[in-house]
Structure 1
Amino acid sequence: MVIARRVRVADAAVEVIADEGLRGLTHRAVDARAGLPEGSASSCFRTRLALLRAVLDRVVELDEAALAGLEFPPGDAAAVADALTGFLEYSLGPGRARTRARLELYLDAARRPGLREPLAAANARFLDRAASGLAAAGVADPRGAARLLLAQLDGLLYDALARPFAPADRAWLRRAVGAAVRSLQV
């Protein structure tokens, strides 16, 4: 029951950050979003930093689950681009709140050291995963290519979230991802 409540609080905190930004993140706002009695979020995560860490852990957990089936077939740039396009569509659709919260955390970690280390560790896991997939696909410098690919994908996500007046439909995403993948010489 305690674990379920902690997950519920973390999920509600993700939604608060997505809707209100980090300035709107308070224990009271999380309680209200989760539909829990006042003080519930604070009893799960005593400090704001603990709450932010819970958000980070939850975002990473859900992103890793969403990436679990993603494969980079050797020599098949079109299949790689299709898989990544699907992931971006998910990140901008059902995973949109999580994507917004993740980007907010990145920006906050650049200004405050409290989240830097765990965010760097999570980023390293995603970088390792991408490098492994790119190595399997036959990319010559998989680590360097993975860093570039993650930057390009985050840029596409940022663009889609920060510029709602320029919608990122599947065709646009597929063209952009295709260009990124071709630049890696998959």
Structure 2
Amino acid sequence: MAGNPERRAALVDAGIEVLASEGARGLTFRAVDARAGVPVGTASNYFTGRDDLLRQIDTRLHTRLAPDPEVLTGLMRAPKDRALVTALMRDLMRRVTRDRTGYLALLEMRLEATRRPPLRDSFTTSARGELEYGMEFHRQAGLPGGDETVAVLYLAMLGLLLEHLTLPGVLDGVLPGVDVPDGLVERMVARIVPAE
């Protein structure tokens, strides 16, 4: 197994690009090599197999889509109220929109996990970990609502992100006078997060 961490990271990022543009069926070592601009056979030196590549893509996606620590620190200086939850959800929307490729690859991972039990187990563990982290963060920050609030907000944001990044026209004009996506984020938070 080759050990160059920069090359491995470049191959994983190339895998994310392939996954987002070609889907799981297009994710081959040859396609990753081509996207990364490396000689054919390079990816096979870095990953034990396709499942290994998919697991490393999963790990990398959570890093790519994670909040910027400086932005998060700035946001957390605000009062711990519904407006802060709205700001946090808008930050999530901006991050995912900025890395649309990463989020589309994440959606492809979810679909592939339905067909591959070992990947499903691994992906379920990482997704569940993210949800539990969100619940713990919410509690520790003293934000309004509890675990149920976070779970419902998680599900609502998943739906909004899916529509906004795959079929954005579906939401246009659904609620007259409400901007997509920021206005919808505000409405969702207002309905889900209890008043202070």
TM range, smaller chain = 0.7 to 0.9
Residue 188 of structure 2, aligned match among 172, 180, 183: 180
User: Distance between the aligned counterparts of 1:11 and 1:42, measured in 2?
Assistant: 15
Question: 1:113 maps to which residue?
Answer: 117
Contact 2:15 2:57 in 1 (8 A): yes
TM-score calculated relative to the size of structure 2: 0.82
Residue 83 of structure 1 aligns with which residue?
88
Q: Which residue of 1 aligns with 2:131?
A: 127
1:120: Cα distance to partner? 1.9
How far is 1:48 from its partner? 1.0
Structure 1: segments with no counterpart, 5+ residues:
none
Q: Structure 1, residues 4-48: CA drift from partner, whole Å, max 9, x if none?
A: 111110000000011111111110000000011100111101311
- The separation in 2 between residues aligned to 1:143 and 1:108, in whole angstroms, is 28
Aligned residues: 182
In 2, are the aligned partners of 1:134 and 1:145 still within 8 Å (CA)? Answer: no
User: 1:1-186 maps to which residues of 2 (within 5 A)?
Assistant: 2-64=4-66, 66=67, 68=69, 69-70=71-72, 75-93=80-98, 95-135=99-139, 136-140=141-145, 142-166=146-170, 171-182=179-190, 183-185=192-194
Contact 1:127 / 1:143 at 8 angstroms: preserved in 2?
Answer: no
Secondary structure class of the residue paired with 2:104:
helix
**What is the CA RMSD across the aligned residues, in angstroms?**
2.2
Give deviations 1:144-169, integer Å, cap 9, x for gaps. Answer: 2222111111111110122144577x
Equivalent residue letter for 2:118: G
User: Which has a greater percent of helix?
Assistant: 1
CA distance in 1, matches of 2:48, 2:157: 34
**Contact preservation (8 Å) 1:67, 1:87:** no
SS at match of 2:48: coil
- Where 2:194 maps in the other structure, the secondary structure is coil
Supply the AA of the counterpart residue of 2:39: P
Gaps (5+ residues) in structure 2? 173-177
Q: Deviations over 1:81-117 (max 9, x none)?
A: 1231122122112x11110011111122123212122
Partner-residue secondary structure (3-state), 1:171: coil
The answer to whether the 8 A contact 2:33-2:40 is kept is yes
Distance verdict in 2 for CA 1:121–1:60, change over 3 Å:
same
The TM-score normalised by the length of structure 1 is 0.86
The 8 Å contact of residues 17 and 104 in structure 1, kept in 2 or not, is answered as yes
Q: Which residue type is aligned with residue 176 of structure 1?
A: L
Measured in 1, the distance between the counterparts of 2:96 and 2:171 equals 14
Give the fraction of aligned pairs with identical amino acids, expressed as a percent. 31
Give deviations 1:114-153, integer Å, cap 9, x for gaps: 212221221122212221233234434x222222111111
Identify the range of structure 1 (8-17 vs 130-139) with the bigger mean alpha-carbon deviation.
130-139
